[in-house]
Chain A
Amino acid sequence: MVKTEIKLKGLTLKNPVMTASGTFGYGEEYADFVDLSELGGIIVKGTTLHHREGNPYPRMAETPMGMLNCVGLQNKGVDYFIETIYPRIRNFETNVLVNVSGSNIDDYVTAAAKIDALEDIPAIELNVSCPNVKQGGMAFGVTCSGIEQVVKAVREVYHKHLMVKLSPNVTNIAEIAFAAEAAGADSVSLINTLLGMAIDAETRKPVLSMVTGGLSGACVKPVALRMVWQVSKAVQIPVIGLGGISSATDAIEFLLAGASAIQIGTANFIDPAISAKVAKGIVEYCERQGVEDVNELIGGMII
């Protein structure tokens, strides 16, 4: 029997597989395809203090082995989440994490404090890396001082596991991760989407309503893997790896690069059952390789 439990500060995952925010709805959308109890956790859609309509359509452009999106954090606000969605999902047999975003520090703090009071939410993922909103979002995540400010402020009101989701759209992601750690983050997750764009050559117009959007999918995996490796060497806190993971083998590569757990994002769109398959595939890999505990894989790349 392979041991798959991953212990993070105040957050125990039954296995290292989680689903990434914005790609798995509130879990309910996938209940027909995945037994949620087979996952280490799910991270629900980005939630902000106030209702957000998001950006206009079109919000998506397909790219070779990937996609761009500029959804822009459409959600009904934290109070709606607490009143309407939380009661429906709080008893899922997996960890339910909420991705929290904001356009200013007060909004982050107020939303985080409200979620801190929810008994069955063991952690938040602080989103300082959304490339699709005009104010806040990525603005906080691309400088060390920005990330320090927001993480420090949220840390004061949030008492459970605080995961901070990092942007890859920076010169040195290890410095940003280090700043998040110094400001009180319990873990960092990376990468959020890479800023990109698409143009329709025939019409000469941008494909996305916001011109630019975030790139995700299999095509970003090598970049994400490299960043996870760099960050895991720079910080003491656990690193959660994501970016293009589409198979158990991909997931294992992230663990070997230094991730303590992983998230599956865009691959959920292509195979809605992929997350549970990856969890099973990790166990099969361990059995085949004679690995008794998944924790042995973390940072296990042989150079």
Chain B
Amino acid sequence: MKQIIDFKIIEKQSFQRAALLKLKSATQLPEIAGGQFVNVRVDGCNKAYLRRPISIHDVDYQNNTIDLLIQEKHEGTKRLCAMSVGAKVNVVLPLGNGFTMPDKDDNILLVGGGIGIAPLLYFAKKCNYLQNVNFLLGGRTQSDLMLLGRFRNEGDVFITTNDGSMGEKGFVTDHSLWNTLKINKIYACGPMPMMKAVAKKAREKGIWCEVSLENQMACGIGACLCCVENTKEGNVCVCKEGPVFNIERLLW
């Protein structure tokens, strides 16, 4: 069941153009699937009238906390990243559908680009019944790749950067692992061109693939019909029918 919860920021870690906020709820958290998102109200900013949809980076049910890894993009996310420990944040959660859980003997690759790496950590934790999880994380430069320690705790991490400052140089789809690693499921989240390139790769290799879209939203719950993606079934709400889509449903 979806809830509106007033969280309190209890920890914060700042990065170059991003922040990791740990939010604590006074009440029991609802069950959250890997790949679901929250809609965060931005107070005191007239340029951010609507909530900001943010993916869920981690969840701790024992302490009733969620971690949000937020990139500064426009006024609203800048405001959120500037918030201090102790501040209250009003959040609607959990929203959308998560990634499809893999089967026990699946060999999965989680591909993240930029801030799109955020939801892959919690999803990987949900996949802890697998023998191994592989991450392929891409950024423009080294500083885009945050919290790598957290990812390394959950699986093998492969890296690309556009400028070669870390890992292999190029885009995620240029990485050498595509020639060597045996995988049968791909989960991707990141900028649209990256996800399209990953989807193309998956099709070429005949690998099952899900992507998480981030079309601009207003309501986050399927009421306003603003965030639609044109799919094989017509225009569907990314917030309610997605944000996770199997690439077979998409037109790209």
Q: Do A and B bind each other?
A: yes
Chain A residues engaging chain B, CB cutoff 8 angstroms: 22-25, 29-30, 32-33, 45, 53-54, 56-60, 62-67, 69, 71, 74, 217-218, 266, 268-273
Give A265's nearest chain B residue, CB to CB.
B224
Give B92's nearest chain A residue, CB to CB.
A272
CB distance from B92 to the nearest CB of A (A): 6
What is the CA–CA distance of A268 and B32 in the complex, to the nearest angstrom?
23
The answer on a CB contact under 8 Å between B223 and A23 is: yes
The answer on a CB contact under 8 Å between B51 and A270 is: yes
The answer on a CB contact under 8 Å between B49 and A65 is: yes
The answer on a CB contact under 8 Å between B2 and A32 is: yes
The answer on a CB contact under 8 Å between B224 and A60 is: yes
Tell me, yes or no, whether B50 is within 8 Å of chain A by CB.
yes
Give B234's nearest chain A residue, CB to CB.
A53
Known: A29-B222, A57-B228. 5 other contacts (CB 8 A): A22-B225, A29-B223, A53-B235, A60-B224, A272-B4
CB distance from A126 to the nearest CB of B (A): 20
Tell me, yes or no, whether B84 is within 8 Å of chain A by CB.
no
The answer on a CB contact under 8 Å between A24 and B218 is: no
- Considering the complex of A and B, which 4 residue pairs feature the smallest CB-CB distances, nearest first? A60-B226, A25-B223, A32-B2, A269-B219
B206-232 vs A, Cβ < 8 Å mask (1 yes, 0 no) = 000000000111111111111111100
The answer on a CB contact under 8 Å between B49 and A217 is: yes
Residues of A near B218 (CB, < 8 A) are: 60, 67, 69, 266, 269
Give B41's nearest chain A residue, CB to CB.
A270
Give A269's nearest chain B residue, CB to CB.
B219
In the complex, how many residues of chain B place their beta carbon closer than 8 angstroms to a beta carbon of chain A?
31
CB distance from B177 to the nearest CB of A (A): 33
What is the CA–CA distance of A64 and B228 in the complex, to the nearest angstrom?
23
Residues of B near A268 (CB, < 8 A) are: 219, 223
Of the candidates B49, B221, B226, the one whose C-beta lies within 8 Å of that of A272 is B221
Chain B residues engaging chain A, CB cutoff 8 angstroms: 1-4, 41, 46-51, 92, 215-230, 234-235, 240
The answer on a CB contact under 8 Å between A59 and B223 is: no
The answer on a CB contact under 8 Å between B223 and A24 is: yes
What is the CA–CA distance of A161 and B228 in the complex, to the nearest angstrom?
33
Of the candidates B50, B216, B221, B234, the one whose C-beta lies within 8 Å of that of A29 is B221
Residues of A near B226 (CB, < 8 A) are: 58-60, 69, 71
CB distance from A130 to the nearest CB of B (A): 13
What is the CA–CA distance of A45 and B223 in the complex, to the nearest angstrom?
8
The answer on a CB contact under 8 Å between A56 and B2 is: no
Residue among A22, A53, A66, A272 with max Cβ neighbours from chain B (10 Å): A272
Of the candidates B50, B223, B234, the one whose C-beta lies within 8 Å of that of A270 is B50
The answer on a CB contact under 8 Å between A25 and B222 is: yes
Give B30's nearest chain A residue, CB to CB.
A32
- Name 26 interchain pairs, CB-CB below 8 A, sorted by A: A22-B225, A23-B219, A24-B223, A32-B1, A45-B225, A53-B234, A57-B229, A57-B235, A58-B216, A59-B226, A59-B228, A60-B217, A62-B48, A62-B50, A65-B49, A67-B49, A71-B224, A74-B228, A268-B219, A268-B223, A269-B51, A269-B220, A270-B49, A270-B50, A271-B4, A272-B221
Residues of A near B47 (CB, < 8 A) are: 62, 64
CB distance from B81 to the nearest CB of A (A): 18
The answer on a CB contact under 8 Å between B230 and A56 is: yes
CB distance from A226 to the nearest CB of B (A): 21
What is the CA–CA distance of A33 and B234 in the complex, to the nearest angstrom?
28
Residues of A near B92 (CB, < 8 A) are: 272
What is the CA–CA distance of A60 and B218 in the complex, to the nearest angstrom?
8
CB distance from A19 to the nearest CB of B (A): 9
The answer on a CB contact under 8 Å between A57 and B223 is: no
CB distance from B156 to the nearest CB of A (A): 36
Residues of B near A33 (CB, < 8 A) are: 2, 4
Residues of B near A59 (CB, < 8 A) are: 225-228
What is the CA–CA distance of A57 and B48 in the complex, to the nearest angstrom?
20
What is the CA–CA distance of A270 and B48 in the complex, to the nearest angstrom?
10
Give B226's nearest chain A residue, CB to CB.
A60
The answer on a CB contact under 8 Å between A32 and B3 is: yes
Residues of B near A23 (CB, < 8 A) are: 219, 223-224
What is the CA–CA distance of A259 and B49 in the complex, to the nearest angstrom?
26
What is the CA–CA distance of A58 and B220 in the complex, to the nearest angstrom?
15
CB contact under 8 A between A67 and B215, given known A23-B224, A268-B223? no
Of the candidates A58, A69, A218, the one whose C-beta lies within 8 Å of that of B224 is A69
CB distance from A218 to the nearest CB of B (A): 7
Residues of B near A269 (CB, < 8 A) are: 50-51, 218-220, 223-224
